[in-house]
Amino acid sequence: MSGQGRVLVAGAGIAGLATAIALRDAGFDVTVFERAADPLGAAGSALGLHPAAVLALRSLGVDGPVVEGGAEVDRWELQDWGGRRIGGWPQTKVSEAFGAPSITVPRALLHQALHAAFPEGQLRRGTTVAGYRETGDGVELLLADGTRQSGHLLIGADGLRSAVRRQMHGDTPLRPAGFTAWRAVGDKVVGSDPVPTARQVLGAGATFGSWPLPGGRTYWVATLADEEQEAAGLTRPPDSPHTPEEHARLADAFRTAPSPAAGLIEATTPDRVVRTPILDRPPQAGWSTARTLLVGDAAHPMVPTTGQGGGQALLDSVAVGNVLRGADLRDHHGLAVRLHQFEEQRFPVTAKVAQAAWHQGRIHHERDPEQVALRDRRLHATTEAEWLSRLGLGPASTAARSA
Ligand SMILES: Cc1cc2nc3c(=O)[nH]c(=O)nc-3n(C[C@H](O)[C@H](O)[C@H](O)COP(=O)(O)OP(=O)(O)OC[C@H]3O[C@@H](n4cnc5c(N)ncnc54)[C@H](O)[C@@H]3O)c2cc1C
């Protein structure tokens, strides 16, 4: 049965567009309001998608161009700062078990695929959401230009600094993770791995990751703990551009890391680099009120150490589509029940993923030399079976999947 009612979506990022597609497919009349005039322009760099996220894209019908334009990751390798191997696993085993690949994809390509699957006429670009007002039988979206839009359900998909969340929960501060990330797609190939390999190097208060992309390009992410950032002369006000001088300092900070970290940075032009001080919020329940629901980073921001935020946003969209399928959004009580069902399904999962990412972010940015040595020894002692179990391929999870 086709859903009935009008849905207003704040934000056309991964969460907003994917949720809009899922709800449009479920029969609702959906309009998306996006602050940026050109949301693709801000997309920048790349991101990794786990097999579960690719399955979510498949269920939205947009996996084809994303998988085609991305690069499969077949292996993961971890190194210490001296270049010694301290861990790794065949990612293909994870992909085979899920029935979908693990991929790295340019962000712009993912956004383009999502945009292409949603009618352009239903997307209002350059439109900032200022707030909302719930009435008994509907919700009014208040736009910054002073106009209003009426609907039956508002989806708050407006990201880490969500205006919808702020109105729902108050203006609570974000939690700094204690490190900053610089990321870019560079025109250089890393090494000559026989299979496409994701590599991560862990140091003292510094990490460097690299992922192959099609066309001889490499996606890289360099991170520095606050103290290392300051020591490298890289502290600067937010939103100021990444200058050539800062770029040279960044390369210098990774000069002692195993090759090709500094070389990859140097081979990338500074204008391609996106700098992001990392922030999240501790998991907080209460994602909905009578006619408003938070999804994606607006609901569950997480540090990017495990590369899951975008994938979890995609999984949200599929879950929203499922719980609202066949609903009449004018039915006040029925809507509230379904919004709670969504949170019951998604809160425990995303809280676990976010807590694991926070914990891993701390461990990866450990600065004390003894703790760093201990961490590296522990990683080195981790067997391939343990790595795979952490990725959901343990005996228990295998049994659960085949049940
Ligand atoms: C360094 C780094 C690396 C990452 N790597 C990965 C990775 O490898 N894999 C992965 O899955 N995730 C990764 N992530 C996380 C991922 O980027 C986010 O989880 C994801 O982008 C969240 O999508 P979203 O749509 O919820 O929010 P956003 O992407 O922030 O989108 C929100 C949208 O809402 C718009 N908006 C904001 N305010 C308003 C307003 N008031 N009115 C109208 N529109 C508004 C914005 O312009 C934007 O288009 C990474 C994050 C970082 C910082």
pLDDT at 396: 42
Atom of ligand 1 nearest to the CA of 181: 1
206's tokens: 């510094």
**Token reading at 67:** 């998988």
- Tell me the sheet residues that pair with 148: 142
Residues 252 and 349 in one domain: no
Same domain membership, residue 285 and residue 227: no
How confident is the model at residue 33, as a pLDDT?
A: 98
How many angstroms is it from 298 CA to the middle of ligand 1?
9
Distance CA(361)–CA(305), nearest Å, equals 6
Ligand 1 centroid–CA 369 distance in Å is 34
Residues 289 and 357 in one domain: yes
- 34 is a domain residue: yes
Q: Are residues 24 and 161 in the same domain?
A: yes
Element (H, E) at 133: strand 129-135
Residue 249 lies in a domain: yes
Q: Three-state DSSP class for 238? A: coil
Q: Exposed e or buried b for every residue in 356-390, given b needs 16+ CB within 10 A?
A: bbbeebeebbbeeeeebeebbeebeebeeeebbbe
From 158, 294, 306, 349, mutation site for ligand 1 pocket: most ligand atoms within 8 A of C-beta: 158
Query: Residue 69 CA to chain centroid, in angstroms?
Result: 18
Are 318 and 357 found together in one domain? yes
Residue 207 shares a structural domain with residue 273: yes
Q: Are strands 274-280 and 175-186 parallel, antiparallel or unpaired?
A: antiparallel
Q: Is the peptide bond before 260 cis (omega within 30 degrees of 0)?
A: yes
How many angstroms is it from 12 CA to the middle of ligand 1?
9
39 CA: nearest ligand 1 atom: 49
Same domain, 91 and 205: yes
The pLDDT of residue 190 = 62
54 found inside a domain: no
221 and 199 together in one domain: yes
> Mutate which of 35, 76, 308, 312 to test ligand 1's pocket (most atoms within 8 Å of Cβ)?
35
Whether residue 187 is found in the same domain as residue 259 = yes
Going residue by residue through the chain, which has 403 residues, state the pLDDT in tens, using 9 for 90 and above: 788 999 999 999 999 999 999 999 999 999 999 999 986 654 569 999 999 999 999 999 999 999 999 999 999 999 999 999 999 999 999 999 999 999 999 999 999 999 999 999 999 999 999 999 999 899 999 999 999 999 999 999 999 999 999 999 999 999 999 999 999 998 876 666 667 899 999 999 999 999 999 988 999 999 999 999 999 999 888 777 889 999 999 999 999 999 999 999 999 999 999 999 999 999 999 999 999 999 999 999 999 999 999 999 999 999 999 999 999 999 999 999 999 999 999 999 999 999 999 999 999 999 999 999 999 999 999 999 999 988 877 654 443 343 3
Identify whether 26 is part of a domain.
yes
State the DSSP H helix or E strand holding residue 52, giving kind and residue range, or none if neither.
helix 51-60
- For residue 219, being part of any structural domain is answered with yes
Range(s) of the domain holding residue 244: 73-105+176-279+368-403
3-state SS record for 245-268: HHHHHHHHHCCCCCCCHHHHHHCC
Query: 208 and 353, same structural domain?
Result: no
Q: Say what the pTM is.
A: 0.96
Q: Which atom of ligand 1 is nearest to the CA of 45?
A: 3
| Residue 301 Cα: closest atom of ligand 1 | 19
pLDDT of residue 397: 45
**Closest alpha carbon to 218 in 199, 203, 235:** 199
Residue 49 lies in a domain: no
Pocket residues for ligand 1 (CB within 6 Å)? 10-16, 33-36, 39, 47-49, 128-129, 157-160, 163, 181, 183, 276, 296-298, 304, 307-311, 313
Which residue, by CA, sits nearest to atom 30 of ligand 1? 159
Q: What Rg do the C-alpha atoms of the chain give, in angstroms? A: 21
Task: Round to the nearest angstrom and report the end-to-end CA distance of the chain.
Answer: 29
Q: What CATH number is associated with residue 231?
A: 3.30.9.30
Question: How many structural domains does the chain have?
Answer: 2
What the block records as the tokens of 16 is: 């907003």
Alpha carbon of 395 to ligand 1 centroid (Å): 34
Asked if residue 303 lies in contact with residue 3, where contact means CB atoms within 8 angstroms, the answer is: no
Q: Cα(84) to centroid of ligand 1, in Å? A: 34
Question: Which residues, 6+ apart, have CB-to-CB distance to 5 below 8 Å?
Answer: 28, 29, 151, 152, 153, 327, 328, 329, 330
Would 101 be classed as within a structural domain?
yes
Q: 360 with 247, same domain?
A: no
Query: Measuring from atom 48 of ligand 1, which residue has the nearest CA?
Result: 13
Longest dimension (CA), the chain: 63
Bridge partners, 141 (sequence order): 132, 149
Q: Does residue 304 sit in the same domain as residue 379?
A: no
CATH value at residue 169: 3.50.50.60
Does some domain include residue 112? no
